Amino acid sequence: MFIGDDGFGVFDPFGRRRIEREYREKQLKLAENPKIYRMKAGHKIKCPVGGGYILRRGKALAKKWVGSPSGPLSREREERQIFTLTKSDEHFRAVYEIPVEQQGHLIVVFHTRSNGFALKRHMKTLQRLFFDHLKLKSVMMRASTPRDDRPFNTKDRRMDLVTYETEAGTEKRTVLFKTWLTMCQRSVATDRFDQTAGDDELLWCSPHVEVDDELRRQLNSTLPLNHPWKF
Q: Map out the domains of the chain as residue ranges.
A: 16-221
> pLDDT at residue 10 above 80?
no
Mean pLDDT of 76-104: 92
Contact between residue 178 and residue 224 where contact means Cβ atoms under 8 Å apart: yes
- What is the predicted pLDDT for the residue at 117? 87
Rounded (10°) CA dihedral 11, 12, 18, 20:
-120
For residues 126 and 94, the answer to whether their CB atoms sit within 8 Å is: yes
What is the predicted pLDDT for the residue at 140?
94
Provide the pLDDT confidence category of residue 18 given band limits of 50, 70 and 90: confident
pLDDT for the residue numbered 114: 63
Q: What is the mean pLDDT of residues 164-180?
A: 94
What does the pLDDT average to over 21-31?
A: 85
Segment of 12-16, 37-41, 87-91, 216-220 carrying the highest mean pLDDT: 216-220
- Inter-helix orientation angle 175-183/116-127, to 10°: 50
Mean pLDDT of 199-213: 94
pLDDT score for 133: 97
The CA distance from 114 to 123, in Å, is 14
Confidence of residue 13 (pLDDT cuts 50, 70, 90): low
Q: Is the pLDDT of residue 186 over 60?
A: yes
Average confidence score pLDDT of the chain: 87
pLDDT interval class at 209 (50, 70, 90): very high
Q: Of the spans 53-62, 113-122, 145-154, which averages the highest pLDDT?
A: 53-62
Cα separation, 134 vs 127, in Å, equals 10
pLDDT tops 70 at residue 105: yes
Q: Give residue 3's pLDDT.
A: 43
How far apart are the C-alpha atoms of 136 and 205, rounded to whole Å? Answer: 9
As a whole-number percent, the residues of the chain with pLDDT over 90 amount to 57
